[in-house]
């Protein structure tokens, strides 16, 4: 069988399979760690101090956002241009279909914004004082930028690239088909960004989107528990001992998953 003969999964299928392993998404995301990219946490806190000016990446660092309480509605980290980008990216990865509404309607963009504002996004638990140098994959994250800065500068760089490539159109103003082209090129590392490595930016933003789709609604995304209902995830605190006899040999369907808020 050649590569052309193999069936190709669409974005929704990929998201559904990703959800099969997302039981941990009901818990605070700070508990989910990888070696390559720091993972998001849930508690919003003020922005961190700027990194040392001596490092050559310091010119790319964003100014800290004002601290304050996180409101229930609106964005607390993203500015208008960044919000438009994130919303377009979210809806490209999670389009509306017969299984669920589009990602922005499910609060995924809000989830991304909250994570970038959080302790994880602001790098509060990361050592950012240098010296910085390229490391091996086994050494983990070695960049001078906090996750929020990676996303912020990646958005600016990609919008600049899009304006040159698509006649002054930023990512959010190109056609849906062109957005898919851009996301595909990003994933294949065929777009060179000025401030951050393309794979780091794409993988971080994509992970935030999938986390927002499958996480407990407490964190801002997965509105109406749509993704849990789509994959049959029962939510937190579920027990199956009393259902074994009744459902033996049959698929177990969950119509009303339980979130952290439901049990608090």
pLDDT digits (tens, 9 = 90+) for 160-184: 999 999 999 999 999 999 999 999 9
Distance CA 193, CA 106 (A): 29
Cα(162)–Cα(42) distance, rounded to whole angstroms? 32
pTM for the predicted model, two decimal places: 0.72
Residues 6+ apart with CB under 8 A from 92: 176, 179, 180, 183
Closest by Cα among 209, 230, 212 to 222: 212
Angle subtended at Cα 224 by Cα 223 and Cα 229, rounded to the nearest 5 degrees: 115
- 12-43 tens-digit pLDDT: 555 554 554 444 444 444 334 344 445 554 44
Q: Extract the tokens encoding 206.
A: 């994509």
Other beta carbons less than 10 A from residue 163's beta carbon? 15
Q: Quote helix, strand, coil % in the chain, to nearest 5.
A: 45, 0, 55
Instruction: Locate the domains of the chain by residue range.
Output: 23-128+142-233
pLDDT in tens, 108-138: 999 999 999 999 999 998 888 878 888 887 8
- As given in the structure block, the two tokens for residue 140 are 């983990």
Residue closest to 147 by CA, chosen among 107, 187, 192, 203? 203
């Amino acid at each position: 069988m050649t590569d052309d003969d193999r069936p190709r999964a669409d974005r929704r299928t990929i998201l559904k399979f990703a959800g099969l392993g997302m039981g941990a998404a009901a818990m605070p995301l700070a508990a989910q760690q990888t070696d390559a990219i720091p993972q998001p946490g849930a508690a919003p806190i003020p922005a961190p101090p700027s990194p040392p000016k001596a490092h050559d990446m310091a010119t790319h660092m964003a100014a800290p956002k004002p601290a304050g309480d996180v409101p229930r509605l609106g964005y607390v980290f993203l500015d208008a241009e960044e919000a438009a980008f994130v919303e377009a990216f979210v809806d490209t990865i999670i389009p509306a279909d017969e299984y669920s509404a589009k990602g922005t309607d499910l609060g995924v963009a809000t989830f991304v914004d909250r994570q970038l504002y959080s302790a994880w996004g602001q790098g509060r638990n990361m050592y950012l004082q240098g010296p910085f140098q390229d490391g091996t994959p086994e050494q983990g994250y070695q960049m001078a930028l906090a996750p929020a800065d990676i996303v912020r500068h990646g958005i600016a760089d990609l919008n600049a690239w899009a304006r040159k490539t698509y006649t002054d159109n930023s990512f959010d103003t190109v056609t849906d088909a062109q957005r898919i082209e851009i996301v595909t090129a990003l994933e294949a590392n065929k777009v060179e960004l000025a401030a951050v490595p393309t794979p780091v930016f794409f993988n971080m933003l994509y992970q935030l989107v999938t986390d927002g789709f499958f996480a407990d609604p407490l964190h801002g995304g997965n509105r109406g528990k749509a993704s849990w209902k789509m994959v049959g995830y029962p939510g937190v605190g579920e027990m199956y001992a009393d259902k074994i006899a009744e459902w033996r040999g049959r698929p177990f369907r969950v119509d009303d998953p339980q979130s952290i808020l439901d049990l608090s």
